[in-house]
Structure 1
């Protein structure tokens, strides 16, 4: 973290959830959510700029990252999409935030999209990395085209005992490899990776990651307490809040298609912006474009 950034904690039903905060506590709330394998460092250029505009900026460490810890050793180390969304809701409730602007990509974008879809009254507006991020789990077992399957090799690796051992023993090298593969044209990736890498030393990181990639393919059961939410998500609910989707043209795991295949999932104000020369780590690679998208929604 930056030397002048203090980590705060709030207790939710499942977590002692760590977060960084910028700006006045009386400002309109904006919550910035990182993905896998990233950290709040993705927003180091964005959070201070929003704070300077008078916004209250919250940047949490997702479950399994950094100082965030589970309250009980008996809690399932779930990485399923519903758990990420519940954590976001719990964070908002714990901090008495009735409504916030949300920005996220990858896992964080999934949490933001789910809350926007199921609890639109809690979301002022949404900036989402790569569009509609809700997983369609019942259809996940259908093979995709070979090129896409090749890009998802790491997910299938995590389905195996070998992948668990590989992530356990080589988490730093493996995560750095993913940064390189997913952002192939990003010159600063190797320089910035060491700033996020310590967040992966969390004792629950491996369990949460493995569960995430197994659950989404129905190879691991989810948290029974969240089954109602997963059931709601099988209907692929629409997102009605004002939304801007940011897509990296050079994304090595999910390159932006020429035709926007997600537009049908958005029923309110919606715009897709494809960012040339940007890979998967959208907020960190394109902080100016991310900040502009947020301010366009907040001030538009």
Structure 2
């Protein structure tokens, strides 16, 4: 029987999938054969998802927006974007994976893109376990028992959280630049100099004044440049992705998430048990390929030894040279190859 944790935690039901009738809003190593080597310096792969009809499905308190490609009966790759990004980070990855025979599902996380809270009264919660529950509930709604979970940043944190709490839902992981977030009081212990930038930035992100309406786009664009200093993206690339952070709840989710991580905001008490399990920093037995990015200032590349204590199952590690935080968009072939290889671990 498929484990449905959302129902047990919240006792809420979900309605059947609803497909949008309009495309508006989509804008708003392990011995496997190699995919073609390629690095995107601009948003060259918009055609990879531009012809996919946007879909909506009721997931607990959300109407979740997502795109899907590939045959329904195929192995599933569920791709989870980071912050501040959206589904377009995977535009070049999706066609590479469907060509390899995968069913690919790419959702907008809560507070992003076309994903909406159904009720104005619902707590805009940015806890990592809440996001993870959204994704497991999405899998339930789409009839997906298990999948290769691939993500970067927030997406990788979400994938790892699922692997900790519900490992049977994770066929394998591709984890890029992420670790589950907990309410740790803001990093009270001294940190290495290379990590201080990330903590200063986290405090800034926790301020509501940091995200003033449309002006937030300029801040986010600067963050993209800081997080990916070697990525030469153009105006069209950024504008195509910008509906992800035009969501009316984007700032509220971002602020609560960062305040909660810093111990400055309360979470949902119904999630306390799950949070305690994640905070214990448990090991992960799910087969995993970990991707480090040489130029990512938020998660300095640590080499395979940095993962041995946490990942006790089959583990592959790759450091991508010249790449920053937005790994799937900067190096789509490498990310897609990691998904293919993780599925075969």
> Cα 1:23–1:157, aligned 2, differ >3 Å: closer, same or farther?
same
Name the structure 2 match of 1:135. Answer: 181
Give me the whole-angstrom Cα distance separating, in 1, the residues matched to 2:320 and 2:205: 30
CA RMSD of aligned residues (A): 1.7
Give me the whole-angstrom Cα distance separating, in 1, the residues matched to 2:202 and 2:262: 9
Q: Alpha-carbon deviation of 1:172?
A: 0.3
1:136–1:236: 8 Å Cα contact kept in structure 2? no
1:164 and 2:225 correspond: no
> Cα 1:202–1:139, aligned 2, differ >3 Å: closer, same or farther?
closer
Name the structure 1 match of 2:130. Answer: 83
- Of 70, 78, 81, the match for 1:31: 78
Give me the whole-angstrom Cα distance separating, in 2, the residues matched to 1:136 and 1:263: 21
Instruction: Please list, as runs of the form range in 1=range in 2, the aligned pairs for 1:239-258 lying within 5 A after superposition.
Output: 239-257=284-302
Give me the whole-angstrom Cα distance separating, in 2, the residues matched to 1:267 and 1:164: 39
Name the structure 2 match of 1:216. Answer: 261
Name the structure 2 match of 1:154. Answer: 201
Give me the whole-angstrom Cα distance separating, in 2, the residues matched to 1:238 and 1:88: 21
2:296–2:324: 8 Å Cα contact kept in structure 1? yes
1:84–1:108: 8 Å Cα contact kept in structure 2? no
Q: Alpha-carbon deviation of 1:299?
A: 3.4
Q: Alpha-carbon deviation of 1:259?
A: 6.6
Q: TM-score, normalised by structure 2?
A: 0.82
SS of the counterpart of 1:265?
coil
Give me the whole-angstrom Cα distance separating, in 2, the residues matched to 1:249 and 1:176: 20
1:3 and 2:47 correspond: no
Task: Tell which deviates more after alignment, 186-195 or 166-175.
Answer: 186-195
Name the structure 2 match of 1:94. Answer: 141
Instruction: Please list, as runs of the form range in 1=range in 2, the aligned pairs for 1:205-284 lying within 5 A after superposition.
Output: 205-257=250-302, 260-284=305-329
Q: Alpha-carbon deviation of 1:232?
A: 1.1
> Cα 1:130–1:212, aligned 2, differ >3 Å: closer, same or farther?
same
SS of the counterpart of 2:316?
strand
Give me the whole-angstrom Cα distance separating, in 1, the residues matched to 2:242 and 2:319: 28
Task: Write the deviation string for residues 138-174 of structure 1: whole angstroms up to 9, x where unpaired.
Answer: 4644142444223333311233xxx312312421001
Q: TM-score, normalised by structure 1?
A: 0.93
- Relative to its length, the structure with more helix (as a share) is 1
Task: Tell which deviates more after alignment, 183-192 or 201-210.
Answer: 183-192
2:304–2:317: 8 Å Cα contact kept in structure 1? no
SS of the counterpart of 1:222?
coil
Instruction: Please list, as runs of the form range in 1=range in 2, the aligned pairs for 1:195-210 lying within 5 A after superposition.
Output: 195-210=240-255
- Of 104, 107, 121, the match for 1:74: 121
Task: Write the deviation string for residues 214-263 of structure 1: whole angstroms up to 9, x where unpaired.
Answer: 00111100112212111111111111011000110011222213573232
Give me the whole-angstrom Cα distance separating, in 2, the residues matched to 1:6 and 1:66: 14
Give me the whole-angstrom Cα distance separating, in 1, the residues matched to 2:115 and 2:152: 19
SS of the counterpart of 1:102?
strand
Task: Tell which deviates more after alignment, 100-109 or 182-191.
Answer: 182-191
Which structure 1 segments of 5+ residues have no match?
Answer: none
Give me the whole-angstrom Cα distance separating, in 1, the residues matched to 2:210 and 2:169: 39
1:22 and 2:69 correspond: yes
